[in-house]
Amino acid sequence: MITGNLFSSSSPPTSVRNVRDHVAVARMALGQGDYHASLRNLNCALYHLENCKGDFSTGELAEMEHLAGKVYIQLRMYKEAERALQNAINLHCGPEFSAIDVIADSRHLAECFRLSHKLEEAETLYKQCVADLKKLKGAEVQLGKAYMGIAQVLIDAKKPQEADDAIRSALNIFEFNGGIKGYWYGRCLMTLARLRFSQGNLSAAEDILSHALEIIQPLIGPQHPLRARALRALSDLSVRNGKTQDCQDFLSRAQAIENFLKDHDR
């Protein structure tokens, strides 16, 4: 996962609750976009785990690895993310876990591959996730996420038509599982905006991204890094579309969030 041996128990005992509390805070911080706080709490959890004689289930250890992988991806620490997610896959391979546990690990590992510019590996793994998820009942949202991930890879690989097809599949799934005002529908629109930008359709990209931000903004809060990222993208699109005043407005709002996050994380 982060550092050290997850299974070491030779040091003085400490409270099992300390580990679980830090993991709970790390999970919450990740959801709020406070990635450094999440990593700090995971490191604290690991410290207490290495000094704890209490029993932890394989599922709890796998969750820590999965959570660490997601945090590392957000912090652009892709080697560490790849290692953590592979550990999670290995821990989740037991008969007591559902297939969806391993698929979730694999989906994030595929995203790690994409961000590390391993596009062939990413596309292959995403497509395997899609094939596996289609066999499962109750995994529609996970399937939509996998389609959205494939679309990101295909955009990077300059395969716009295939990317468009994957996005449409994801949007259809999210529309019937959360609605057109749901978080994942909004996130998928951001991917569609990225595709339109790559195709040179800047006006459509701006309109789609603005709509996506309207959807996700009330769901993630005003100081979330995803909001800052969307605002920066809108700033870039505005200047390209000749809207200088809008560009400055979006940029200043993005910078305000980034400054808040920087000060908050000291």
Q: Does 255 have pLDDT greater than 80?
A: yes
**Residues contacting 231, CB < 8 A, separation 6+:** 213, 250, 251, 253, 254, 257
**Residues contacting 145, CB < 8 A, separation 6+:** 107, 170, 184
Asked if residue 244 is part of any domain, the answer here is: yes
- 238/166 same-domain check: no
Read off the pLDDT band of 53 (50, 70, 90): low
Asked if residue 186 is part of any domain, the answer here is: yes
Give the domain-ending residue among 132, 160, 177: 177
pLDDT of residue 14: 55
pLDDT of residue 171: 98
- 232/162 same-domain check: no
Give the domain-ending residue among 37, 65, 97: 97
Does this model's pTM top 0.85? My answer is yes
- 135/207 same-domain check: no
pLDDT tens string 216-250: 999 999 999 999 999 999 999 988 888 877 888 88
Q: Over range 131-136, report the average pLDDT.
A: 96
Give the domain-ending residue among 66, 97, 128: 97
Q: How far is CA 219 from CA 32, 184, 215, in A?
A: 10, 11, 7
pLDDT of residue 262: 78
Asked if residue 129 is part of any domain, the answer here is: yes
- Residues 191-199: contacts with CB under 8 Å, at least 24 apart: 191/148, 191/151, 191/152, 191/155, 191/167, 192/167, 193/233, 194/152, 194/155, 195/151, 195/155, 195/160, 195/163, 195/164, 195/167, 197/237, 198/155, 198/158, 198/160, 199/160
- 127/143 same-domain check: yes
Read off the pLDDT band of 179 (50, 70, 90): very high
Distance from first CA to last CA of the chain, Å, rounded? Answer: 24
- 198/171 same-domain check: no
Average pLDDT over the chain, rounded to an integer: 90
Q: Over range 136-158, report the average pLDDT.
A: 97
Asked if residue 215 is part of any domain, the answer here is: yes
Of the chain, the percentage scoring pLDDT greater than 90 comes to 73
pLDDT tens string 72-130: 999 999 999 999 999 999 999 888 888 999 999 999 999 999 999 999 999 999 999 99
Asked if residue 102 is part of any domain, the answer here is: no
Read off the pLDDT band of 11 (50, 70, 90): very low
Q: Does 8 have pLDDT greater than 60?
A: no
Asked if residue 44 is part of any domain, the answer here is: yes
Read off the pLDDT band of 46 (50, 70, 90): confident
Residue 228: give its domain's CATH number: 1.25.40.10
Residue 68: give its domain's CATH number: 1.25.40
- 200/266 same-domain check: yes
Domain count, the chain: 3
- 190/170 same-domain check: no
- 126/70 same-domain check: no
- 10/86 same-domain check: yes
- Domain hosting residue 169, numbered range: 120-177
Within 13 Å, how many C-alpha atoms sit on residue 56's CB side? Answer: 27
- 79/140 same-domain check: no
Asked if residue 262 is part of any domain, the answer here is: yes
- 68/137 same-domain check: no
Asked if residue 106 is part of any domain, the answer here is: no
117-119-125 Cα angle (round to 5): 125
